[in-house]
Amino acid sequence: MIEREQVLHVAKLARLGLSEEEVARMAGELSGILEHVDRIGELELDEVAPTSHVVELENVLRADEPHESLDRDVALSQAPDPIDGAFRVPSPQAEG
């Protein structure tokens, strides 16, 4: 069961603003989904190695050769708030 506080904590970690209504709904929905997911917790898998890759590759490396970088105007062309050749963001607050 996911409590409201957990929803708020996770939303904070994910930098996701949730309305009160969303917080309430998430708590219920996440609980329902996790209830289903929790079944895998009952499987005896201590000896099993986790799989994070299905491809059996290693040492896929790139030669240290420069490519053409983006023209700065192109790099900034998609930015919401470009200025002086840089990407502007609101300052993080001390109390953030």
Partner 1 sequence: MADMLDLTAVQAKQAMASGDLSPGEYGDAWAEAAAGDELNAYLWRDGNGDAGAISVEKPSLAPVAIKDIFCTEGVPTTAGSRILEGYRPAYTSTAVRRLIEAGAPVLGKTNMDEFAMGSSNENSAFGPVLNPWDRGRVPGGSSGGSAAVVAGGLAPWAIGTDTGGSIRQPASLCGIVGLKPTYGAISRYGMIAFASSLDQCGPLTRDVRDAALMLSILQGADPCDSTSVGLGEAPSLPDREDLKGLRFAVPSELARDAIEPGVREVFEATLARIEQLGGEIAEAPLPHAEHGISAYYVIAPAEASSNLARYDGVRYGMRSEGGGDLIEMYETTRAEGFGTEVKRRIMLGTYALSSGYYDAYYGQAQKVRTKIAADFSAAFAEFDFVVTPTSPSVAFGLGEKTADPLAMYLNDFFTVPMSLAGIPAISIPAGLAEPQGGGPQLPVGFQIAAPAFAEQKLLDAAHALEQAIGFDTHPSGAPYGPQGSKKRTGSEEGGEDG
Partner 2 sequence: MAELEAVIGLEIHVQLATRTKMFCGCELSFGDEPNVHTCPVCLAHPGVLPVTNEQAILYALKIAAALECEVAPHSIFHRKNYFYPDSPKAYQISQYDIPIAGNGRLGDVRINRAHLEEDAAKMIHVGDSGRIHGSGASLVDFNRGGTPLVEIVTEPDLRGAAEAAAWARLLRETVRQLGVSDVNMEEGSLRVDANVSVRPAGSDELGTKTELKNMNSFRFLERGMEAELARQRELIEGGGTVVQETLHFHPEDGTLHPLRSKEEAHDYRYFPEPDLVPIAPTEEMIREARESLPELPAARAARYEGMGLAEDVAALLAADPETAGYFEQVAEVAGDAEPRVVANWVTGELAAALRQDGGEATAAESNVEPGALAALIAMVQAKKISHGSGKTVLAALVAEGGDPEALVDREGLAQISDSGELESIVAAAVEANPEAAEQIRSGNQKAIGAIVGAVMKETKGRADGGEVNRLIRERLGL
Q: Which residues bind partner 2 (CB under 8 A)?
A: 9, 12-13, 15, 52-53, 55, 57-67, 69-70, 72, 75-76, 83-94, 96
Q: Which is nearer to partner 2, 21 or 80 (CB)?
A: 80
Shortest distance in whole angstroms from residue 66 CB to partner 1: 15
Confirm if 4 and 28 have CB atoms less than 8 A apart.
no
Q: How far apart are CA 19 and CA 82, in angstroms?
A: 30
Angle in degrees, CA 78, 83, 84, rounded to 5: 125
Residue ranges binding partner 1 (CB under 8 A):
2, 6-7, 9-11, 13-19, 22, 26, 29-30, 32-34, 36-41, 43, 45, 48-55, 57, 60, 62, 70, 74-75, 77-81, 87, 89-93, 96
CA distance 69 to 76: 13
Which run of H or E residues covers position 82?
strand 82-83
Closer residue to partner 2 (CB): 21 or 63: 63
Structure tokens given for 33: 């989904």
Min dist. Cβ of residue 10 to partner 2 (A): 10
